[in-house]
Chains A and B, each alone.
Chain A
């Protein structure tokens, strides 16, 4: 049962990720990426990472992609014409596909076919558990990332001004 769900969501994620690369219209790519993020969030929930799954939808699908679509609309980008260089497109594409297959084979060699995941207690991956470890052991990266976000905020506002 879990295997069926995994295959459904994994196929959806991969197909829509391919859609990002293949579509000519930038908004179609962006929307395809949103659906991919939803499928990946479902996979996170299957991995008992409930907090991260909801954060993925909240931050990635809900904020970052909204920003992307905003920028695409503001810049009024049209469909891309795929002019010449068809051959180099295919060449690069197959090269990268082989890279992916190589990585897959590497994974299969390095981690022999292990059994399923062990049982984790029901509090694994809840907000409380992640919050506890985030505020005790990893408090320094947490504060650091919050400063990073403030810097990014200021940077974004300054860079997008009309008169630099």
Chain B
């Protein structure tokens, strides 16, 4: 039967895949997507614990994580568009000058 450990290990695996994407890829947008994966891994852990403790507070936390992730994605993508307009690239390696 499915125990809490199953969900926690799934959350750990998703988290490490997210960090792998964050560290290895050089495209800003894929780094963003890996950050969304990290947030989802955290949500899985929140909801698994909420189910085990039979309290809804974990679900409320997951709800807020989703809302904040939406806000962060919107602003982050706007920044990416602004950077692309100024520098013409979205590779993180080439965004290493503080001035033009």
Contacts and interface: CB of A to CB of B under 8 A. Distances in A.
Contact of B73 (A68, A134, A151, A153): A68
B79 A77 contact: no
Interface residues of B, number: 67
B56 A14 contact: no
A104 B71 contact: no
Contacts of A160: 78, 81-82
Interface string B1-24: 111111111101111111111011
A126 to B, nearest CB: 10
Residue from the set A26, A96, A129 with the largest chain B CB neighbour count within 10 Å: A96
A75 B27 CA distance: 12
Contact of B33 (A20, A106, A116, A130): A20
Contacts, number: 223
Interface of A: 2-3, 6, 10, 13-14, 17-18, 20-21, 26, 29-30, 33, 36-37, 40, 43-44, 46-49, 51-52, 55-56, 59-60, 63-64, 67-68, 71-72, 74-75, 77, 80, 89, 92-93, 96-97, 99-100, 103-104, 106-108, 111, 113-118, 120, 124-125, 129-130, 133-134, 138, 141, 145, 148-149, 151-153, 155-160, 162, 164
Interface of B: 1-10, 12-21, 23-27, 29-30, 32-34, 36-37, 40, 43-44, 47-48, 50-52, 54, 56-57, 59-60, 62-64, 66-75, 77-82, 84-85, 90
The 7 closest A-B pairs by CB, nearest first: A100-B16, A152-B71, A159-B78, A103-B12, A96-B20, A21-B21, A116-B1
